Amino acid sequence: MLPQIKGFINQTLIDWEGKIASEIFLPGCNFRCPMCHSAHLVLNPSTLESIPFYAVRDYLREQKDWIDGVVICGGEPTMHAEIESLCSEFKQLDMAVKIDTNGAYPEVLESLVDKRLVDFIAMDVKAPVDDTYRAVAGVDVDLAAIGKSIALLQKGEVDHEFRTTVCSFFLDKSDIINIARTIDGARAYVLQEFKGGSCLDPTLNNYQSFSRDELKALAAECAEYVQACCVRGEAPRRGKFETRNSKLETPPGGRQK
Ligand code: SF4
């Protein structure tokens, strides 16, 4: 069995730094982030048409000389019991696999890493790993699980990026520095600008958060703790760990979910 696929972008240059990728969207999420831009996938996935796996597979087979890998996004991909089978299918097609995750299921991530079914993990760190997390994730969060996922990526066995959508409604600047300290030594930390417009909580749709210049200044401070840090779309600032094998060589891609 494979998870249902509710969205497919056949080619993207912005969701995996340095790669031409296809991207699929899986339904459902265990979080209810008020800032989420994927309300349809999170709240009403059954209303969305499913895309048969064979259609994705056939496309990847046809384009295998051109497409480097597949980004598996959601919703939350790791809440699906069949995620390993799905990654395995892509691996059999010689595709690299990236997973975008909220980090709530560290055992799933660990198993994917151990079985070499994933090449890159991008993990949202929503807030400092304390009581703040609940407000930003919109649910009670198992903070120990978030801590385990962070620790797993910090081991460096899989290429990774941490990222935070910075909305001043929930987070102040000291919160972001606090997150950077928590992910100390990480290969990359990316600050994402908050964008309103279609948030799961519509009262945020017109909210104005930090300016881009404020975020760039924050990224410079965070670079003290990680190998590289930047605002999404800007060149990375090297941190004190820059002698390590940081992969953040060019402005990275990605989208605010
Ligand atoms: S932003 Fe991500 S983790 Fe949060 S509700 Fe949306 S899909 Fe789930």
Please give the pLDDT value at position 138. 98
Position 52 pLDDT exceeds 80: yes
Position 244 pLDDT exceeds 50: no
pLDDT in tens, 67-92: 999 999 999 999 999 999 999 999 99
Testing ligand 1's pocket by substitution, the residue of 71, 101, 102, 204 carrying the most ligand atoms inside 8 A of its CB is 102
Structure tokens at 18: 């340095």
Position 243 pLDDT exceeds 50: no
- In order of their start, the domains of the chain are 7-238 (3.20.20.70)
Please give the pLDDT value at position 20. 97
pLDDT more than 70, % of the chain: 93
50 alpha-carbon distance from chain centroid = 22
Task: Verify whether ligand 1 is closer than 6 Å to residue 33 (CB atom).
Answer: yes
pLDDT in tens, 127-163: 999 999 999 999 999 999 999 999 999 999 999 999 9
Task: Verify whether ligand 1 is closer than 6 Å to residue 34 (CB atom).
Answer: no
Task: Verify whether ligand 1 is closer than 6 Å to residue 104 (CB atom).
Answer: no
- Give the chain's end-to-end CA distance (angstroms, integer): 26
Please give the pLDDT value at position 161. 97
Please give the pLDDT value at position 235. 76
Position 245 pLDDT exceeds 50: no
Kindly report the pTM of this predicted structure.
0.93
